Amino acid sequence: MGAAGAPWLERSEREREERPSLAVRLLRLQPGQTVADIGAGSGYYTELLSKAVGSAGKVYATDIQPEMIRLLDERIRRRRLSNVQAILCTEADPRLPPESLDLALLVDVYHEFAQPQQMLRAIHRALKPGGRLVLIEYRKEDPAVPIREEHKMSIAEARAEVEPEGFAFDRVLNDLPWQHILIFRK
Average pLDDT for runs of 10 along the chain of length 186: 62 85 98 97 95 98 95 95 97 97 96 94 98 97 91 96 97 96 98
What's the confidence (pLDDT) of residue 1?
60
In a domain? residue 12: no
Kindly report the CATH number assigned to the domain that includes residue 132.
3.40.50.150
In a domain? residue 4: no
In a domain? residue 163: yes
In a domain? residue 13: no
Rounded distance between C-alpha atoms, residue 48 and residue 6, angstroms: 17
Q: Which domain holds residue 101?
A: 45-185
Q: Characterise 96 by phi-psi region: left (phi > 0), alpha (psi -120 to 50), beta (else).
A: beta
* Predicted TM-score (pTM) of this structure: 0.93
What's the confidence (pLDDT) of residue 12?
73
In a domain? residue 75: yes
How many CA atoms are closer than 13 Å to the CA of 146, on its beta-carbon side? 3
How many beta carbons lie within 10 A of that of residue 164, not counting itself?
10
127-139 vs 179-185, strand pairing mode: antiparallel
What's the confidence (pLDDT) of residue 89?
96
Rounded distance between C-alpha atoms, residue 40 and residue 145, angstroms: 22
In a domain? residue 133: yes
In a domain? residue 84: yes
Residue 92 and residue 115 in contact, taking contact as beta carbons nearer than 8 Å:
yes
Indicate the number of domains in the chain. 1
In a domain? residue 122: yes
Residue 106: closest CA among 128, 135, 127, 132: 135
Name the strand (E) or helix (H) holding 17.
helix 14-18
Q: Characterise 158 by phi-psi region: left (phi > 0), alpha (psi -120 to 50), beta (else).
A: alpha
What's the confidence (pLDDT) of residue 3?
63
